[in-house]
Every structure is written in C-alpha cells, then in structure tokens.
Amino acid sequence: MAMFANSFENLNDLFVFELKDLYDAEHQITEALPKMKEAATNPQLKLAFESHLRETQNHVRRLEQVFSQIGCQPERETCAAMKGLISEGQGMINAKGNNTVRDAGLISAAQRVEHYEMASYGTVRTLAQQLGFMDVARTLQQTLDEEGNADKKLTSIAQSSVNVTSPQGEPMNA
C-alpha cells in the first residue's frame, strides 16, 4: 500500500523503489526461515530451509552491492506482500496435526514466497536492463536463478518424500 504514496517520475524511481521492497522482503525471509526449519520434521526439508537461509543472507548482501552500484544507500521499503506470505507461513508453523502434512504445508508456504521473489527479481532485472545497468541485471539474474532452484528443490522434496508419506485422506466431492 505504501507504493501508492510514492511518486514515480521515471523507471529509475520505480527501480529503486522495487529494490527497497525486495531488500525488506529478503530481511523478512531471513527472520522466518529459522522458524520454518525448526517447525519442519522432514530432514531434507530442514536442510533445504537451512541452505536457503544462507542463500537469502547472500541475497541481502547482493542487494546491498546493487544499491552501491547505482549510488544509493540500502533502504527498506516495507513489503506488505511478504508480510502476508510470512504470516501464512506462521500459520503452518503453528498448525497442529500430522507432522508430514504440516511439512507439506510448510513447503506450500515456502513456495509462495519463492514465486513472489521470482516475480520481483524478474521485474527488477528487466528494469535494470532497460536502464542500462547490465552488471546489476546479471547480479539480479543470479539471485533469480537461485530462487528458481530453491523452488525446484522444494518441489522435489514434496514429490519424493513429504507428500508421499503424508496421509492422503478421502477425496471430497466437488
């Protein structure tokens, strides 16, 4: 919602705003991932969350590098979308019931975050290209690739172990 209070006179203004939004989103994720790791029961999922935490910390550093390359101080603009996604993830962390089903829910929540990040990094990468910041675009593409790989890893864990071992229940009539 804060986006509409800003004034965007050119693509650079939008680019900087989007970077600040992503910077906040990455910080929120670094706070959420340890909680998701703690809540997970599947060893592969725990490792995936731990690994992605290290990657996310690197994403924060990369964004700081990008800010430096474009001559701006790193600043956070509250990412309301990530707040909502993190809140949904917190719901899975707090959920009761079968642990493997909850792990499936944690994967679902984490993949929503990954998809948001992929959309956001794709946007800022394209804006960087349009603005002629080719080194910045390559840096952002590197993070975009890592987010895609994290999403694929979560899918693999879901398909190879978590969803397979979760109780199926009875299908509902539509």
Condensed to tens digits (0 to 9), the pLDDT of residues 38-55 reads: 999 999 999 999 999 999
Positions in the chain whose pLDDT score sits under 70: 1-5, 163-174
pLDDT at 167: 58
pLDDT at 70: 96
Q: Tokens 């430096």 — which residue?
A: 68
Query: The pTM is what?
Result: 0.90
pLDDT at 1: 40
Distance of alpha carbon 54 from alpha carbon 1, whole angstroms: 30
Give which of 70, 71, 78 is closest to 23, Cα–Cα: 78
DSSP 67-124: HHHTT--------HHHHHHHHHHHHHHH--S-HHHHHHHHHHHHHHHHHHHHHHHHHH
Residues 6+ apart with CB under 8 A from 29: 56, 82, 86, 113, 117
Domains of the chain: 10-159 (1.20.1260.10)
Q: What is the DSSP-derived secondary structure letter of residue 4?
A: G
